[in-house]
Amino acid sequence: MTTVTSPLAGRAIGLAAVPDPVFSGAMVGPGTAIDPAREASEAVAPVDGVIVSLHPHAFVVVDDSGHGVLTHLGIDTVQLNGEGFELLVAKGDRVTRGQAVVRWNPAAVEAAGKSPVCPVVALEATAESLSELRDSGDVKTGDSLFSWN
């Protein structure tokens, strides 16, 4: 079983509340979403593993059991072309849970007209394979978001 922890502080809102049909419809996979605190911060690895995909606005960590976890920093933030995001690791790096991956500012994303809401998705999973899913309430960086069986 893999425990997926929050890559940032804020409020858990669940995927259904994400202002994007691909995420809210769980087309990418099941999971939850965080409405982040509006301050400059670092998004951290939600699991121990290897960075297999890395963009300023999104990253995927695959753990040793082969589970891939996508952290997407905001909605439509690819349109910002990396502005306001700083990569702190490289693709292929092994990271530990809680290690900083991207530095960003959700308030700046919002000021640029984009939603700062952050989906945290279990890739190639089924909703039934997740348990203890957190979709409401305040979360701190590192708090458990869901377990992946």
What is the C-alpha to C-alpha distance for residues 34 and 96, in angstroms, rounded to an integer? 20
CB under 8 Å to 47, separation ≥6 — which residues? 2, 3, 4, 5, 61, 63, 67, 69, 97
Q: Out of 55, 57, 67, 72, pick the active-site residue.
A: 72
Residue 55 is among the residues annotated as catalytic for this protein: no
82 Rama class: left (phi>0) / alpha (psi -120 to 50) / beta: left
Here the tokens at position 26 are 């769980």
Q: Which residues are catalytic?
A: 72
